[in-house]
Chain A
Amino acid sequence: MTQFLQQLINGLSLGSIYALIALGYTMVYGILKLINFAHGEVFMVGAYTGFYAAGFLGVADFEAQNHSFPLYLALLVLIIAMAAAALLGMTIEFLAYRPVRSAPRLTPLITAIGVSLFLQNAGMLLFSPNPQRYPAILSEVRFAVFGVIVTNIKLTIFAVALCLMFGLHLFVQKTWTGRAMRALSFNIDAAKLMGIDTNQVIRVTFAIGSALAAAGGILFGLDQITINPLMGVLTGLKAFVAAVLGGIGSIPGAVVGGLLIGLAEQLTAGYLSPEYRDAITFLILILILLLKPEGLLGVVRVEKV
C-alpha cells in the first residue's frame, strides 16, 4: 500500500508535467490540425533557458553558501523561461509554419519534423550533447506522511502545473482571445469571416502552448535532476500520446491524459520493470487508436467533404 501511494505521488507529479506539454500539442492540433513535432524541443529549450537563467541569477553562489535559492528568484527563472519559449514558439510559427499553412497536410508535417530536428541538433551544438545537472532552484525538503516520502519538489510541481492549467482554463473560457481560439478550432474559415484576426490568434496559441511547455521543462529539470538536448524527443512523444489519450483538441482531455500517462508510467516502473516505462506509453497509444480513436474526452466529428 505504501509503495502504491508512493508511485501514485510520483506518477501524479510526472503526469502533471506531461499534461503541461500535452496542452500545447492539443491547442495547436485543435486549430491547425498539425502535430507540432517541434513542441518537445520547445520544452527542451525552456528547460535550458531556465538552467542558464538560474546560473545568471547566481544559483551557484547560493548553493556554495548552503542557502536555498530565494523563491522570488525561482519565480523569475520560471517567467524568463516561459517568455523565451513563447518567443521561440511564435518565431517557429511565423518562419516555418505560416508559409506552408495552406499547403497539403503532409507539407507542414515535414516542416515540423525539420524544425524539431533543427532545434535538437542546434541544441547539441549550443548546449553540448552531455547531460547537465539541473540547478537546485528549490532545495529539497523531504517529509514522510504515513510512511510515504513526499518532497516539496513533487508538491511544487503539482501545484505549479495545477495553477497554470487553471489559468489557461480561465483564459480560454473567459477572455475574448480565448473565445476566438475556441472559434478557430471549431471552424477556422467561419471564424475568419466573423472578422477574427486568425494570424493573431494562432500566434497567441503558439505563445501560450510554448510557455506552458517551458514551465514543464523547468519542472522536469527539478524532478529528473539532469537535462540534455534530446530530452524533448521521448517526453514530447509521451505528451503527445497523452493528448491523444485525452482526445486531441480537448484541453481538459490533455490534462486527464497527461496524469494518466504519468501514473501508468510510474506504476509500470514500480511494479513491472523500469525498462518498460517507455514502452507502456506506446502500448497505450496503440490501444487507444484501436479502441477509442477520438480519445477519452474527445468528440466524434463527422468527416465533411
Chain B
Amino acid sequence: MRALIRFGIAALILLAIYGLEFGVEAAFTEYVQRIILLAGINVILAVGLNLINGTTGQFSIGHAGFMAVGAYGAAFVGVKLAPPVHGALGSGPLADAVVFNVALLVGALFAGISGLIVGMPSLRLRGDYLAVVTLGFGEIIRILFNNATFLGSATGYSGDDPSGLPAYTNFFWVFAWATAIVTLIHNLTFSQTGRSLTAIREDEIAAEAMATPTTRLKVTAFAISAATAGVAGGLFAHMQAGVRPEDFRFERSIDMIVMIIVGGLGSISGAILGGIFVAVSLELMRDLQQYRLVLYALLLIVIMIVRPEGLLGTRELHHLLRRKKTAKPATPTESA
C-alpha cells in the first residue's frame, strides 16, 4: 500500500514537471529557459557535492573532473547507442528517451567508478588528502580529454553528426533527474547511513570507536557524489551541441564549492538555493567575467571568517518552517 502511494506521488510529481515544461516554454524566452536548465543542473551538482563535502566532511575540490567523465561518457554512449535503438524502436520520443537515460546512467556509472578509484587511496587516511588528490584528478582528466583523439581532443566531442549532439536535455528531464537525485540524497542523509556520515564529519575517531566502518562509508558517499556529478555532466553535454575539455576547468569546481558554501555546508535545501544562486549570479556577472573569480574568492574567505556555516548551516529550510509553525509562543513569566 505504502509503495503504491509513493509510486502515485512520484507519478504526480513527474506529471507536474511535465505540465510545468509547457508553461516554462510558453512564458520565457530561450535565454531565460537556458538559465533555468542550468539552475537545475547546478542543483544536481550542489546536492551531490554536498553529500561528501557537507554531510561527510571530506573536501573534494575537483568535482568538475567527475562531471567531465559523466559528460563525455554520456555523449559518447548516446551517440553510439542511438542507431541500434532507433532501429529497434523507430525514431520517436520513446527511443530518444531510452537512449538519453541509458546514456546518462552510463555516464554516472563511469563517474562513480572514477570516484571509487580516486577515493579509495585518499579516503583511507584522515586529513585533507582528498582535496589534493581531487584537485590533481580534475586537472589530469582535462589533460587526458585534451589528448584523447577519439573524443575530439581540444575541440571536444560532438558525435558523428556535423550538427553536434542531439539536444535531448529539456526542462522535463533536468527537473525529473534533479527531483530523483534530491530525493535519493535526502533519504540517504536522513537514514542510519546518513547519521554515520554525519558522525564521521563531527568526530571520525569517535565514529570509528563506535564501530562505524568509516573508510567504506566515506568511499561509498564519495562514489555516489561523483556519480551525481556525472549525471549533471551528461545533462550539460546534451544541452550544448558538444562537450569540450574547456567546459570543465578548475573554475567549475570552484562554482560548485561556492554553491554549497553559500547555502550552508551539510544542508540539502541550502545546496539547492546555492545552485540557483550561482546560475543566476553567473548570468548577472557576465559583463564582469574577469572579476568573477576574484569576487568568488573573496566571498569564500569572508564567509569562512564571518559565518563559516553558510547561510543555513546544517539546517534544512523545511525544518525551519515547520519549527516556526509548531513553536508555541513563549509565555512571559513574571519574576519578582
Q: Taking the complex as formed, is A115 at the interface, i.e. its CB lies under 8 A from any CB of chain B?
A: yes
CB distance from B299 to the nearest CB of A (A): 8
Distance in Å: Cβ of B52 to nearest Cβ of chain A: 12
Within 8 A of B (CB), among A85-131: 96, 99-100, 103-111, 113-118, 120-122, 124-125
Which residues on B sit within 8 Å (CB–CB) of A63? none
Contact A114–B125 (Cβ < 8 Å): no
Q: Which A residues lie within 8 Å of B250 (CB)?
A: 233
A279 contacts chain B at the CB level, 8 A cutoff = yes
Question: Chain A residues with Cβ under 8 A from B311's Cβ?
Answer: none
Known: A125-B290, A293-B124. A240 touches B265 (CB 8 A): no
CB of A160 within 8 A of chain B? no
For chain A, the count of residues having a C-beta within 8 Å of the partner chain is 44
Say whether A118 contacts B294, CB under 8 Å.
Answer: yes
A110 pairs with B304, CB closer than 8 A: yes
The reply to whether B136 and A237 contact each other, CB–CB distance below 8 Å, is yes
Chain B residue nearest in CB terms to A124? B290
CA A233 – CA B143 in complex, angstroms? 14
Tell me whether B300 and A114 are in contact (CB under 8 A).
Answer: yes
State A6–B299 Cα separation when bound (angstroms).
47
Q: B293 at interface (Cβ–Cβ under 8 A)?
A: yes
Interface pair B147/A278, CB less than 8 Å apart: no
- Which one, B102-110, B126-134, B162-170, is touching chain A? B126-134
Cβ-based interface call for A305 (8 A): yes
Given A110-B257, A240-B132, A281-B136, A293–B125 Cβ distance below 8 Å? yes
Taken residue by residue from 192 to 234, chain B's Cβ proximity to chain A (1 for < 8 Å, 0 otherwise) reads as 0000000000000110010000000000000000000000000
Rounded to whole angstroms, the CA-CA distance of A193 and B209 in the bound complex is 30
- Cross-chain contact B294 with A121 (CB below 8 angstroms): yes
Specify the main secondary structure of chain A where it touches its partner: helix
**Is A286's beta carbon under 8 Å from chain B?**
yes
Bound Cα distance from A103 to B301, whole angstroms: 13
* A-B contacts, CB under 8 A, total: 113
B123 closest partner in A (C-beta)? A289
Assembly CA distance A303 to B209 (angstroms): 12
Write out the residue numbers on chain B whose beta carbons fall within 8 Å of the beta carbon of A275. Answer: 143, 147
Interface string of A229-256 (1 = CB under 8 A from B): 0000110010011001000000000000
> Min CB distance, B307 to chain A, in Å?
11
Q: Which residue of B lies closest to A111 (CB)?
A: B304
Task: Provide the bound-state CA to CA distance between A107 and B261, in Å.
Answer: 10
Chain A residues near B261: list those with CB within 8 A.
110
Q: How far does the alpha carbon of A115 sit from the alpha carbon of B294 in the complex, in Å?
A: 10
B291 on interface, CB distance cutoff 8 Å: yes
A296, CB-defined interface residue at 8 Å = no
Taking CB atoms, residues of chain A closer than 8 Å to B61 are 113
Tell me whether A8 is interfacial, beta carbon within 8 Å: no
A143 at the interface (CB under 8 A from B): no
User: Is B173 close to A, CB under 8 A?
Assistant: no
Q: A285-B132, A303-B205 are in contact. Are A117 and B308 (CB under 8 A)?
A: no
Chain B minimum-CB-distance residue to A115: B301
Contact A278 B205 (CB under 8 A): no
Given contacts A103-B308, A237-B132, A286-B121, 20 further A-B pairs with CB under 8 A are A110-B257, A110-B261, A113-B131, A115-B301, A117-B254, A118-B294, A118-B301, A122-B294, A124-B290, A233-B250, A241-B132, A275-B143, A278-B140, A278-B143, A279-B143, A282-B137, A285-B133, A286-B122, A289-B125, A305-B209
6 A-B residue pairs with CB within 8 Å: A113-B61, A114-B297, A279-B140, A285-B133, A289-B129, A293-B129
